Structure 1
């Protein structure tokens, strides 16, 4: 089959990724390793609870997510990115089979693909599909997506500023956050010290 059709509107984003981290975008779970010196993890619920029980706890985690997102992106344009995947061996043309991803991120168009061939068994090689849209950040604009990430319904989503210096990757239990500098990371850690992990490495 032919290669997936990438939206040309995202060419600038691809060039920016290549300047920051050749040869291209990282998988979201790699942010904490690649940007370790600028990374911090915040838990989304008190006592490191992983999943919310009821609307009161959803309100807590959405407030935590949005508070950090506001600090990172208030008044700025952001890229919202979601991901899908298939086996590389399928050679699929654009296997966007995730009903949840399309429903939660209908504005996203195909930005790029990344092949993960780190497993020695070719049967476990994966092709990741990155879908992106650019918008003005507003508090609450991603609440449905954030709830889905907190429920582990949607994984691999992240938000980044147009310069790729600030990133927010939500998931069940918390969020990985990348700041422009180590000093900025440390200041945010201090402001939200009560949301940090008790793990000595911050996990």
Structure 2
């Protein structure tokens, strides 16, 4: 499936971003991932046969506390992202949520500043509770850009601080996904053997937990 897009120049530290057709991107997601919506925290269980988790600091430390530790976090994130996406375009996806489908975000985040060209492309609503006050609407925003090391370091640093959650980066066929979070990243590869190869290359970044968590 081809996705139509147009070029928009961004800041020099962000490179060039391309607006996407949200309907086409949603259709591509449903074609590639009929098991469920693009909600990043669900990827680990839905794609367990192709999943690996890498920790972003030695000793499985969760939050960086110095510029040296931020440098380690960004280097580990970018090393895996380079492995997955060098020489290709990627979709960068960010999230906010609201108690109404089109209302203001339920809490302030730096998402609009760090992902200014993200186009709203998906709303995943939870309206199971009979009380509308407990309904929530997860809204995803995406852009397309050429991957280059460091092009989303602002986003990644915010993720490391838990100022942003549910961020993910995917190839344009949505077969490989990198979901960074505070403390590490969940990585979904196209096949189990590919996952095994990437995992072996960075074995010292793995958890000692028997389930790889």
TM-score (norm 1): 0.89
**What's the counterpart of residue 65 of structure 2?**
53
Mapped partners of 1:102, 1:35: distance in 2: 29
Q: Gapped runs of 5+ residues in structure 2?
A: 1-18
**What's the counterpart of residue 76 of structure 2?**
64
Cα pair distance change 1:98/1:185, threshold 3 Å? same
Deviates more, 1:96-105 or 1:170-179: 96-105
Task: Measure how far apart 1:116 and its partner are.
Answer: 2.6
User: 4+ residue runs of structure 1 moved beyond 6 angstroms?
Assistant: none
Alignment of 1:197 with 2:207, yes or no, is yes
Would you say the 8 A contact 1:14–1:24 is kept in 2? no
Question: Alpha-carbon deviations, 1:139-176, whole Å to 9, x = none?
Answer: 00010100000000011110000000000011100000
**What's the counterpart of residue 180 of structure 1?**
190
Q: How many residues align?
A: 194
1:163 paired residue among 163, 173, 179: 173
Question: Alpha-carbon deviations, 1:90-116, whole Å to 9, x = none?
Answer: 3x4252464511011111011111113
Would you say the 8 A contact 2:20–2:142 is kept in 1? no
**What's the counterpart of residue 96 of structure 2?**
84
Cα pair distance change 1:109/1:47, threshold 3 Å? same
Q: Which secondary structure does the structure 2 equivalent of 1:103 belong to?
A: helix
Q: CA RMSD in A?
A: 1.9
Higher helix proportion (structure 1 or 2):
1
Mapped partners of 2:130, 2:33: distance in 1: 24
TM-score (norm 2): 0.85
Task: Measure how far apart 1:13 and its partner are.
Answer: 1.1
